[in-house]
């Protein structure tokens, strides 16, 4: 049998799947190494793609980083939050294991690295404004929505950092006390000032 008959048929090109694979690999590399140490060649290799496709789809490293940042925020998630259960839902999530949802943990590590780099902090600021603070502000509504959104974001990010540093889920009496205090804190932030 000839080599031509033994070879697999050429793989159908799927630009969207390739673009998504590059984006997923970029988020992991940027989370692990930060912007400055991440290498496009390694991102392309992890995605199983040619490095030239990064330039084609994203325009280069900065464009890829910007798209990876945007993909790390799901602004539609805020619209589905139930105000009546929000404080409890978030408190219970924050009492849990930081790595229960590995994709979310990597996304948060990626954002933390972006915040600490002078190169990427301005890009993160734009993404946070558009895809995080603006949806929170719209969801909160009411007087001082901008300030309340910033406070809620700060509290939420603080809880995320504490959970990431802690790693393991809380248990027993400590878990119950943490959830009770977290609910109180979040409900204060959610309420409109008197």
Task: Walk me through the domains of the chain, giving residue ranges and CATH numbers.
Answer: 12-66 (1.10.10.60), 76-190 (no CATH)
pLDDT tens for 72-100 read 777 667 777 888 999 999 999 999 987 77
pLDDT recorded at residue 13: 63
Q: How far apart are CA 132 and CA 76, in angstroms?
A: 10
Give me the phi and psi of 192, to 5 degrees please: -75, 145
pLDDT recorded at residue 56: 93
Residues 6+ positions from 135 with CB-CB distance below 8 Å? 75, 76, 78, 79
Residues 6+ positions from 153 with CB-CB distance below 8 Å? 128, 132, 133, 136
Grouped pLDDT means (10 residues each) for the chain, 194 residues? 46 78 90 88 93 93 88 73 91 88 74 83 85 87 89 91 89 97 93 76
For residue 146, give the DSSP letter. Answer: H
pLDDT recorded at residue 185: 95
pTM for this structure?
0.71
């Amino acid at each position: 049998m000839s080599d031509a008959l033994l070879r697999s048929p050429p793989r159908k090109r799927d630009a969207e799947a390739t673009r998504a694979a590059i984006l997923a690999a970029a988020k992991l590399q940027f989370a692990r190494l930060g912007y400055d140490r991440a290498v496009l060649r390694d991102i392309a290799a992890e995605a199983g793609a040619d490095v030239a496709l990064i330039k084609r789809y994203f325009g280069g490293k900065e464009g890829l980083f910007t798209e990876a940042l945007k993909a790390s925020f799901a602004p539609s998630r805020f619209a589905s939050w139930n105000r009546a259960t929000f404080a409890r839902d978030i408190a219970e999530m924050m009492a849990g294991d930081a790595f229960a949802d590995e994709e979310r943990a990597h996304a948060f590590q990626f954002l933390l690295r972006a915040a600490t780099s002078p190169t990427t902090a301005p890009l993160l600021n734009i993404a946070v404004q558009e895809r995080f603070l603006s949806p929170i502000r719209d969801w909160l509504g009411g007087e001082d929505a901008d300030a309340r959104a910033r406070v809620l974001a700060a509290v939420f990010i603080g809880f995320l950092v504490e959970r990431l540093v802690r790693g393991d889920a809380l248990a027993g009496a400590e878990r119950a006390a943490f959830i009770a205090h977290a609910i109180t804190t979040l409900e204060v932030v959610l309420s409109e000032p008197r």
